[in-house]
Chain A
Amino acid sequence: EAQVTQNPRYLITVTGKKLTVTCSQNMNHEYMSWYRQDPGLGLRQIYYSMNVEVTDKGDVPEGYKVSRKEKRNFPLILESPSPNQTSLYFCASSPLNIYEQYFGPGTRLTVT
């Protein structure tokens, strides 16, 4: 089944404790992206990648890192999480023309 998977789905952590949210897709898509969704602010792009070893900043990259060492994986790293990073995070992938982005199920992160 074609899908984008994210882990974990829910995470409660404390300020400053490094964490990684994994994202994996099995559709051989070139394009992968991370978004955060907050009430009243909609979906905002954090980082995106057009292919292996190619990443670019989106609208809100501060406090986040990504890597794209393999085509299928695009982990999101929070080196020192802060409460303002409490949010719902979505990973998405698509062919390079972004005709249709497939979204993962979301990761709800709470930083206390």
Chain B
Amino acid sequence: EDKVVQSPLSLVVHEGDTVTLNCSYEVTNFRSLLWYKQEKKAPTFLFMLTSSGIEKKSGRLSSILDKKELFSILNITATQTGDSAIYLCAVENSGYALNFGKGTSLLVTP
């Protein structure tokens, strides 16, 4: 059975801190790993990762995938209060099914 585990489940940091969110997975016939940000509404797409070792970057956010060790990390540098959200990791298998982790709830305090 496919499984996606995110850690930590929740995190509280001060503005300006750097955070690392983790996502480990077990999936049959891995196709891609995706990161989403969810504020008080629907999730919005952040990154899609398919290859090991290639960092994806968007502003202060970056992510990398390790297909040998079956995990991905999402880094946020110089955090801002607007980064407060639930961050979701999802893994897609070759059959196009998506399996989401339970999410990491991040709170950035001023």
Contact = CB atoms under 8 A, between A and B. Distances in A.
A57 to B, nearest CB: 9
B42 to A, nearest CB: 4
Of the candidates A43, A59, A98, A105, the one having the most CB atoms from chain B within 10 angstroms of its own CB is A43
B2 to A, nearest CB: 8
A48 B42 contact: no
Contacts of B103: 42-43
A31 B100 CA distance: 17
Contacts of A90: 42-43
In the complex, which range does the number of interface residues on chain B fall in? 20 to 34
Nearest to A44: B100
Q: Is the interface of B mostly helix, strand, loop or mixed?
A: strand
Given A42-B103, A43-B88, A98-B92, A103 B42 contact: yes
Contacts of A105: 41-42
A106 interface: yes
B37 to A, nearest CB: 11
Interface string B20-50: 0000000000001010000001111100100
Interface of B: 32, 34, 41-45, 48, 88, 90, 92, 95-103
Interface of A: 31, 33, 35, 40-45, 48, 50, 56, 58-59, 90, 96, 98-106
